[in-house]
Structure formats: structure tokens, C-alpha cells
Chains A and B, each alone.
Chain A
């Protein structure tokens, strides 16, 4: 069966520090992968999506970037975190045509 892993689960970082959040998927190949951010009162905001290795589309211009170095690995990064980057980051993959399946999320607090 397919599973999706995210780490770290929680992270507290100072403003200006770098960020790396990792997502891996097991049990499938060539999945569409997505990064969402959930901030209080703003719902789930699509940040990036990827249809294959090295192929990244950005939905919202921001302080973050994404990379897909391997078929089942999706990484969210920042060179210098801002306070506004705090939130709950969710990785997801697309199963079939209709279903987006989410990981357990990574909670980032920027101080």
C-alpha cells in the first residue's frame, strides 16, 4: 500500500535561518506531489506541485522553494525564514484522478 512520510514533525527555527522539510512517498511510482501550507484562518494554500523529477510549479511567489531530486522525494526549502513562514506544512500525492492523500504534516514555528 502507498504511504507518505513527512519530517520533521515539528520544528522551531529563528528568523533568518534556513529550512528543509522532506516528504517521501512509498508504494507508488511517478506520483504528482504537492506542498500546501495551512496558516490560521487561511485554509490550505497550494505552494508547489510537481509532476516529475526536477519539474516544479509554483503557485504563490514567496520566500520558499521546492525541489524533487528523486521520483518519490519532495523537499521544501528556504534560505532565510521569515516570521510569516510559520504554519503547518502538508505534503500530498495524487492517487488516481480524484484523490489527494496528505501526510501527517510538519509544524513550523519561526521565532
Chain B
């Protein structure tokens, strides 16, 4: 059972384009929503994250949009560059502040940015 549904599975854009990756969830106990970036052969690394009481968060060229009522959130990458080519995972924390906090991931989106 996939707790966080992510789409698309793969995405190809030209340099300068704005790829958008979408995620959805059902569990109302989720209380924090990070995105991770993974390069081939490496572990994922935290990219950006958002609390559910915030509708948008921007860090550099990366923006998260969050719709709490729809239980959906998305990642936008402005002015995408070939170096952004990686796999992106959305995720959701259940009980992040407690010792039993668990992080659930989407299936990932493989992004390719052509020069």
C-alpha cells in the first residue's frame, strides 16, 4: 500500500523549462512534507520541505505548493538546469516530532533536463 502517490514516473524537459512533480496522500496524520533529491548511486538528500499550515515555500529555484484540503502537494523547479537531472521523491512524516516518527516516500520521478 503506497501511502504517498507520486506522478509522473519520469519527466523530460529542456533547459530553462519548469518541471512539475505532483504528490497526493490520504493519511491525515501526516504532519510534514519533504522532498528528496537522489543522484545515481547515492542516498537521497533533503531538498526542501513544507509544513501543512503553509501553502507555498520557495528556496532558490525550488518551490513547493501545498493544498491541504485536497491533500496534494507539488514541486516546481524554475529555470531547470542539466545538473537538476536526478530522481525526486516526495515524502510525508507521520509523527515527526515523536520518537516513533516515520517517513513515507512516493515512488519517485526521474527528471532529465536536456541542455
Contacts and interface: CB of A to CB of B under 8 A. Distances in A.
A57 B46 CA distance: 24
B12 interface: no
Given A42-B107, A43-B89, A44-B105, A102 B44 contact: yes
Interface of chain A, helix or strand or loop or mixed?
A: strand
Nearest to A99: B46
Interface of B: 2, 6, 9, 32, 34, 41-46, 49, 89, 91, 93, 96-97, 99-108
Contacts of B105: 36, 43-46
Kindly name the residue among A32, A59, A100 whose own CB sees the greatest number of chain B CB atoms within 10 A: A100
Interface residues of A, number: 25
B97 A100 contact: no
Contacts of A94: 101
20 contacts: A34-B103, A42-B107, A43-B2, A43-B6, A43-B105, A43-B107, A44-B44, A44-B105, A44-B108, A45-B105, A46-B105, A51-B100, A57-B100, A97-B96, A98-B32, A98-B34, A98-B49, A99-B46, A104-B43, A105-B42
Nearest to A43: B107
Interface of A: 32, 34, 36, 41-46, 49, 51, 57, 59, 90, 92, 94, 97-105
Kindly name the residue among B2, B44, B100, B107 whose own CB sees the greatest number of chain A CB atoms within 10 A: B44
A69 B55 CA distance: 43
B43 A90 contact: yes
A37 B36 CA distance: 15
Contacts of B49: 98
B43 A100 contact: no
Kindly name the residue among A46, A49, A98 whose own CB sees the greatest number of chain B CB atoms within 10 A: A98
A4 B15 CA distance: 34
Nearest to A44: B105
